[in-house]
Amino acid sequence: MSRLTPICVPCARSMRCAQNEFAVRDKRTPDSPATVWSGDRFACPDCGSSVVVGFGSGLAENPDAPDTDALEFRR
């Protein structure tokens, strides 16, 4: 199955994968604990804008561990 890459809107360029298994953390809520997800970070070769896509694998067992270096997702 072919997977389309993200497109940078300002530059109209295909983004390239800059890092696989990029960690992103959801915030803790009263109903659920913080969770760390693994995705792929794509970056624009012209302007450097980036996005993280392809979540669903690599759920961390202990997302509150101090050594977890994850981007915290803001809603």
Domain residue limits at 39: 7-60
Q: How many domains does the chain have?
A: 1
Residue 71 lies in a domain: no
- pLDDT (0 to 100) of residue 42: 97
pLDDT surpasses 80 at 65: no
Q: Residue 74: inside a domain, yes or no? A: no
**How does the average pLDDT of the chain come out, rounded?**
82
Instruction: Map residue 56 onto helix, strand or coil.
Output: strand
pLDDT tens column, 31-49: 877 788 889 999 999 999 9
Its pTM surpasses 0.85: no
In a domain, 16, yes or no: yes
- Flag whether 2 is in a domain: no
The two beta strands, 35-43 and 50-57, are: antiparallel
Q: Token pair 């803001």 is at which residue?
A: 74
**Residue 49 belongs to some domain of the structure:** yes
1 inside domain: no
